[in-house]
Amino acid sequence: MDSRSKDNRDTRKRTKSSISPQQLIELGKLPPQAVDLEIAVLGALMLDKDALSNAIDILKPEAFYKEAHQRIFSAIQSLFSKAEPVDILTVTQELKKNGELEIAGGAFYVTQLTNRIASAANVQTHARIVLEKYLQRELIRISTDTLQHSYEDTSDVFELLNKAEQNLFSISQTNIRKDFEHIRPILGKTIKEIEAARNQELSGVQSGFTSLDRITGGWQRSDLIILAARPGTGKTAFVVTMARNAAVEFNKPVAIFSLEMTANQLVSRFISGETELPADKLRKGELREHEYQQLNSKISRLVDAPIYIDDTPALSIFEFRAKARRLKAQHNISMVIVDYLQLMVSGQEGKFSREQEVSMISRSLKAIAKELDVPIIALSQLSRAVEQRGGSKRPQLSDLRESGAIEQDADIVMFIYRPDMAGITQDENGMSTDGMAEIIIAKHLNGKIDSANLMFIPHLAKFVEPSSSVVPSGISANVDDFDPNNTIIRGSRMNLSLIHISEPTRLRRIS
């Protein structure tokens, strides 16, 4: 075997494992570090109790480059959590009790830490620099590991990509805490928002449903709104209708992350709702000439609507955060819709139970809503318990599937309740429940618990106000039904209604 082959084999062996900080030093690359500032921080924490309160929540043991400093900081953390005094003597005693005094450099080294600083005044700044160096080292570690495994033919590229996303996401969670603010500037900002709200009806993004907006005041910035219902109840139809209303009627940019339906299927819903042409006819292409004219004339409002769709399946929370940030920066989106929460992945598959994963996802969605300052509406499934219950089968908070954390993290929890799907054909007044839908607000952190009554039009996959002029499924009309004023009289099992038609259009029975 020649020396070149031997060298190549040795190189391949070396790439099997990640490069450690010590190996980087041997290669001539010193990892980012600030040992002098680490000493200054530790000395300040043992010297001044105010410094301890100001900086201890910024750092964690692994943020320190030297192992001795990691052990000393862990001892300081332990004392602080037990509300015990933190000074040279107590820290030394804590290290001795844990059997780590020698690893930490001995009692003399701990004593010398306080002699290296003149003042603890800048401890927060020093702590933030120490944290930045740690984040730099973590980025180098993850990038080096990814680079090495990318050269290996045996590596699964998708598994490698997923691992890189997980690691980067974990780093993104290690950020510098936002500091507290005095109430005065917050009061000023809040008063300005109240004054601005005087000139408009709603303070949030309007859903387009008057009865619902009256309860919520619109979807408020930084809120996490959970919309839950059993499959087939119309969750997607409801958010598609809201997205259309926000984008078309109020020119609010909306982002939709559809994990269940493709972008084409979702856009077909938009077209059906906008043109009032049945979805099945659009899907089969069974349109008559006047219906094509109707399609072309009404679709124009959707063409320029600020609606952005992403249909990536099994979207990870890391990808979602990155894409949502980009949409906010590029298009200043006002609302985000996720369809639906249980199809998202945490990026930590196999490490936690599914319930813990869903909890991580819901917490992350709330954090992203606050970070981007936009409402996030996430669809969620209900458990089968709602179907096994007797009576009206009205959903309740305990029916939220897989995690109680969803209820805890959400600012608003809403349910779609359709009596006809629960086998209830008449309401308490003896009227037909066909198409009736109740939007139940079961949790409202900043408002009242209430409900809004809407109508669901199945053949259009669309929700409307009860007074809307949309033709319900099963109602027929023809050109002879039109009067000179373009008004058509139509009968249903419930009542007779006068519905104004803007252009004479031949309609046929939808079976």
Q: Closest by alpha carbon to 438, among 420, 422, 453?
A: 453
Q: How far apart are CA 474 and CA 510, in angstroms?
A: 5
In a 13 Å sphere around the CA of 32, the CA atoms on its Cβ side amount to 14
Contact 76, 86 (CB under 8 A): yes
- The two three-digit tokens of residue 146, written as one number: 């990814």
Q: Closest by alpha carbon to 316, among 344, 350, 355, 342?
A: 344
Q: Is 260 labeled as catalytic in the residue annotation?
A: yes
Q: At residue 371, what are phi and psi to the nearest 5 degrees?
A: -65, -45
Q: What's the pLDDT tens digit per position in 237-253?
A: 899 999 988 888 888 99
- The two three-digit tokens of residue 196, written as one number: 């601005």
Under DSSP, the state recorded for 58 is T
- The two three-digit tokens of residue 355, written as one number: 């319930």
- Identify residue 13 by its one-letter amino acid code: K
Q: How far apart are CA 412 and CA 112, in angstroms?
A: 54
Contact 306, 350 (CB under 8 A): no
| Catalytic residue, candidates 100, 260, 438, 465 | 260
Per-residue confidence (pLDDT) for residue 230, from 0 to 100? 81
List of the chain residues with pLDDT < 70: 1-28, 173-181, 193-194, 196-202, 347-350, 390-392, 401-404, 467-511
Q: How far apart are CA 86 and CA 75, in angstroms?
A: 9
Which residues fall within 8 angstroms of residue 28, CB to CB, at 6 or more apart? Answer: none
Q: How far apart are CA 253 and CA 60, in angstroms?
A: 40
- Residues 131-149 as b or e (16 or more Cβ within 10 Å = b): bebbbebbebbbebbbebb
Per-residue confidence (pLDDT) for residue 24, from 0 to 100? 54
Per-residue confidence (pLDDT) for residue 116, from 0 to 100? 76
Per-residue confidence (pLDDT) for residue 197, from 0 to 100? 60
Say how many C-beta atoms besides its own lie within 10 A of residue 130's C-beta: 25
Contact 382, 400 (CB under 8 A): yes
- The two three-digit tokens of residue 508, written as one number: 């046929």
106-113 and 35-47 are packed helices; what angle lies between their axes, rounded to 10 degrees?
80
Contact 42, 72 (CB under 8 A): yes
Which residues fall within 8 angstroms of residue 252, CB to CB, at 6 or more apart? Answer: 205, 206, 246, 306, 334, 335
Distances (CA, A) of 456 to 181, 339, 394: 46, 19, 17
